[in-house]
Amino acid sequence: MAKRFEEPQARGDFFKSLGTLFAGFVASRLEETVTGLGPTLHRPPGALDEFAFLTACTRCDKCIRACPENAIRKAGANMGLALNSPYLDPRSVPCFLCTALPCITACEDGALVWPRRVQADGAVLEGPKAVRMGTAKVKPSRCVTYARDTRAPQACRVCVDRCPYPEVAIRIADPIEGEPIGHPEVNAEVCTGCGICVFACPTPESAIVVVPRRD
């Protein structure tokens, strides 16, 4: 026989469930508040989602010291709750996707974890190929392959040639009708967000940016 709501045990279960739901709501709102404060940062390889990362990272600097390319920086005072946390500035120094990913090995807090990604076709990737720091995005207003009022389009494939996974993560697409040359095209499924294309772009202000991963 089903228990009546008035019975003590049923009433206790009800309030227990209500408390669980409320706690989940508060946690969700807290996460939105914390991750919404300050700028969005480009995290090192293997970083947890932003809220979990900020919670787990103890700002020990071990990943910074472990990076052989000195690519990982420490967030400054203007970074809000991300103060002293590690991040990348690919225009200055990108992530070169070291085979052993020593920054992850050095992290004892679990804020950086060994990358593993399942692709749409079911294939499982691990290590550097599975890194997902963000996704590269081409800005047509800056890219020389696009014509502008005072600028004719120019063929350029520096971003493709410097990419660790050329013709896969980024390629020059076939020209569309009416245009003489093709433009860089990013495959978000494969892009690691390493930022090497940002670093290599020859334009004064890089025509490619990396949109950091948030989840």
CA distance 107 to 170: 30
7 or 201, greater pLDDT? 201
pLDDT (0 to 100) of residue 11: 52
Mean pLDDT of the chain: 86
Evaluate whether residue 117 is within a structural domain. yes
136 shares a domain with 114: no
Evaluate whether residue 103 is within a structural domain. yes
The 10s digit of each residue's pLDDT in 144-183 is 999 988 889 999 999 999 999 999 999 999 998 888 999 9
Evaluate whether residue 33 is within a structural domain. no
Domain end (from 131, 154, 171): 131
Q: Identify which of 195, 170, 197 has the alpha carbon closest to the alpha carbon of residue 185.
A: 170
The DSSP code for 2 is P
The 10s digit of each residue's pLDDT in 11-28 is 555 445 545 444 444 444
214 or 91, greater pLDDT? 91
Q: Identify which of 90, 22, 87 has the alpha carbon closest to the alpha carbon of residue 50.
A: 87
Note the pTM of the prediction, 2 decimals.
0.80
Evaluate whether residue 63 is within a structural domain. yes
91 shares a domain with 139: no
On whether the CB atoms of residues 193 and 135 are closer than 8 A, the answer is: yes
Find residue 186's DSSP bridge partners.
Answer: 170
4 or 58, greater pLDDT? 58
Q: Report whether pLDDT(39) > 90.
A: no
141 shares a domain with 69: no
Evaluate whether residue 99 is within a structural domain. yes
Q: Report whether pLDDT(63) > 60.
A: yes
121 shares a domain with 160: no
How large is the average pLDDT for residues 83-92? 96
143 shares a domain with 84: no
Q: Which segments within 31-183 are labelled E, that is strand?
A: 72-74, 86-88, 116-118, 124-126, 134-138, 170-172
